[in-house]
Amino acid sequence: MSDESRPTPAQASVAAVIPAAGRGVRLGPGAPKALRALNGTPMLIHAVRALAASRHVSLVIVVAPPDGAAEVKSLLDAHALPDRTDFLVVPGGESRQESVRLGLDALPPQYEIVLVHDAARPLVPVDTVDAVIEAVRDGAPAVVPALPLADTVKEVAPAAEPGAPEPVVATPERSRLRAVQTPQGFDRATLVRAHGRVTDDVTDDASMVEQLGLPVVAVPGHEEAFKVTRPLDLVLAEAVLARRRLNDGF
Ligand code: CTP
Ligand code: MG
């Protein structure tokens, strides 16, 4: 891509949208997932701090549970956050896709690069955030952090009843597969266009850009950017926090 075709990417300002409006059904009964505590601090606050830790991110938009915007605002007020970062809270929607779109609708015009980051990935290291931003600044319209898989993956014909045996249809070559994380980074106009065109419910934003026929690139993700999905993930997240605390102490 020529230098003339893009507006000064090195100075483009970066905002992060954090969808946090999900219930967390797979985590089991309780408060909305993003509001649950990890070592005493709400998961959402960990996620907000993780993104605000990047000196490139100057605005964080939190997409709160539909009836939880006031609660999220008071949580942000109650926790120490960097002064150089601005924060906005908007209520979310029924699906992740709708929540992200509501976050994008609140994005002030000056931001040219947007990160979308799951509140459910509270422990993403700042180096991963910065690597995604750098790849967008280098000209990629969409960037995903991704890791090779440990498990072999099978495609099956899903059974109608849960637990019934499922015929295996194919085994994609593992070395070509990646597990995709967040933050995913976008040229703002591209992401807005993708959200305007794609109406199927998708679980990640980059796939909407793929549906537009635009290139998406993967950069190395990080083990600690895993998504807190099931109860065991809470144990793992608290163990990571405990290890960080120990390492910080020495
Ligand atoms: N999310 C959202 N709005 C929704 C659904 C999900 O903002 N209507 C957010 C979640 O809060 C989470 C991220 O999207 O930060 C990734 O979704 P997922 O891990 O699936 O979280 P939940 O939808 O809350 O969990 P579950 O699917 O188990 O209910
Ligand atoms: Mg979900």
pTM of the model as a whole: 0.95
Nearest CA to ligand 1 atom 25: 24
Confidence of residue 3 (pLDDT cuts 50, 70, 90): very low
| pLDDT exceeds cutoff 80 at 5 | no
**The pLDDT value given to residue 144:** 98
87-108: pLDDT as tens digits: 999 999 999 999 999 999 999 9
Nearest ligand, CA 28:
1
Report, as an integer, the average pLDDT of 14-22.
98
Report, as an integer, the average pLDDT of 30-44.
96
Residue 118 CB coordination number (10 Å): 25
User: Which of 27, 51, 96, when mutated, tests ligand 1's pocket best, judged by the most ligand atoms within 8 Å of its CB?
Assistant: 96
Q: Could you identify the atom of ligand 1 that is nearest to the CA of residue 94? A: 8
The residue type at 86: D
**Is the CB of residue 204 below 6 angstroms from any atom belonging to ligand 1?**
no
209-226: pLDDT as tens digits: 999 999 999 999 999 999
**The pLDDT value given to residue 199:** 82
| pLDDT exceeds cutoff 60 at 235 | yes
Confidence of residue 2 (pLDDT cuts 50, 70, 90): very low
Nearest ligand, CA 97:
1
40-90: pLDDT as tens digits: 999 999 999 999 999 999 999 999 999 999 999 999 999 999 999 999 999
**Is the CB of residue 135 below 6 angstroms from any atom belonging to ligand 1?**
no
Name the DSSP letter for residue 117: -
Among all chains, which residue has been given the structure tokens 């799951």?
Answer: 118
Kindly write down the DSSP assignment for every residue of 178-240, as one continuous string: EEE-S-EEEEHHHHHHHHHH--S--S-SHHHHHHTT---EEEE--GGG----SHHHHHHHHHH
CA of 96 to the centre of ligand 1 (A): 6
Gap between the Cα atoms of 250 and 239, Å rounded: 17
Question: Average model confidence (pLDDT) for the chain?
Answer: 94
| pLDDT exceeds cutoff 70 at 27 | yes
Domains of the chain: 13-145+179-248 (3.90.550.10)
